[in-house]
Chains A and B, each alone.
Chain A
């Protein structure tokens, strides 16, 4: 089985987001980056499990600058066979990123292209569906389970308040959510081996910007908390009704 896992980078989850002095941009100084958790914990690990069961290869792919190589190497350390980085230095929008991934994957006969449910930076859940459309592939978003029997895939996806089970024939694309697999920690041997695995750098194709981030803002700070006497829950109910007007 030939499997492709698309991985992005995001600020480490404890990062406090600060704006630059002009308020127009995110202040990235001192921000630590990690592999997007959905890509690492669920998409990549499920791809590795399928390869371990049925044979084949797992390729990790990132669209981004050379700084991202450390994140890509982590994917190799966890167990991917090889890696590709499409060399894009600027921050680009989802459609641009999807176009790069689609042009790379076109004609390469990947059976499954894995994405994460969303990047925890831009929270869009768009890139996977876009790639699927560019390549005319079936796509299942928020997949929590994937079983493969030859080219027959059975995918369970999360829906509001329940789940749906879908049968589809590979090639397919999907986005992985919690439940798909269990996080794996790279070991020393994996880390050593990752240094020798191939990381191909590919030139991007031209594609116009369809969106642009004009500026950022921060949510309003909460005023200080109003403490309620633990003995007097009638008072809390009164405040929720009369002051907050939520019940």
Chain B
């Protein structure tokens, strides 16, 4: 059985959970087995997870699951997997998953692939999973050699589909340890979709010339409903917050649309964005290296082009 850890974000099952279950269902189909989901905590809407491919949803509730403690969550997932006889466990490769995946693999002494971007396949007799390596400059086909396997899925790697109906929800009782960590503050900005999950991203580089000019970027992002990002020197100069920095040493993203304005396209920048589905580059220098990695290019002054594009988007959206 393939077990999907369905993470609730701020009390709701959202895209992250739906992607994981879809992926787990497709993995189960490859192996000719069932797909179940695991829910930690009492989040409403667990039965709807069936729509994304989970036949059964197992729910664990405990006061020890209230603040996020990776060690406790790891015990919960590991013990659930053992009790239910899961052979593959799927998690998201996000901030939660990055705290759990390694722990879980160590606890179960299971082979693991962190940050997979394609559905596993049986190849040369081995269960094989593909993941980007060298910050997206290449892909590796990794064989998992153990009976139990752990995979974390990179965000935006599969398109969410409806693959089933309602699921039955079953309560699972587990003995969990008390957390050793205490969450004293949890702060999430409302409004824009967080960068790693965003499907549309508008990004500015040094060409935008200073934080006082950033309206040209944010206006376009608002018109599109996109999230904003920036190049590293922009974050290093504190023109924009650090969490907006994309690239090899920043956030790696794979949105459907990445619009880069005033960014030259250095190899370290490209490494974090070149898995985007469609790339639009706006730069006044026709020789900017970024054009080689772009699908659409506009050679021009971003202070003229961006407001024009914003108007065109508004017109299109009516």
The residues of A with any CB-CB pair to B shorter than 8 Å are 11, 13-17, 19, 26, 37-38, 93-95, 98, 120-134, 136, 138-142, 144, 154, 157-169, 175, 178-179, 209-219, 222-223, 225-228, 230-231, 233-234, 236-241, 244, 246-247
Contact = CB atoms under 8 A, between A and B. Distances in A.
Contact of A247 (B224, B252, B275, B292): B224
Given A129-B100, A178-B242, A210-B146, A230 B300 contact: yes
A29 B136 CA distance: 20
B99 A129 contact: yes
B102 A129 contact: yes
Given A130-B103, A216-B138, A241 B249 contact: no
Interface residues of B, number: 106
B184 to A, nearest CB: 5
A217 B139 contact: yes
Nearest to B268: A13
A216 B140 contact: yes
B305 A246 contact: no
A157 B183 CA distance: 10
B256 to A, nearest CB: 4
A162 B188 contact: yes
Interface residues of chain B: helix, strand, loop or mixed (majority): mixed
Given A19-B138, A214-B124, A240-B280, A98 B102 contact: yes
A160 B94 contact: yes
B71 interface: yes
Given A219-B274, A219-B275, 20 more contacts: A16-B267, A17-B137, A94-B105, A98-B106, A121-B133, A123-B115, A123-B252, A132-B70, A161-B192, A162-B188, A165-B184, A168-B180, A179-B242, A213-B143, A214-B142, A215-B141, A219-B136, A227-B297, A230-B305, A246-B278
Contacts of B315: 234, 237
A163 B254 CA distance: 22
A95 B188 contact: no
A164 B68 contact: yes
Contacts of A122: 133, 140
Interface in B158-202: 180-189, 192-197, 199-200
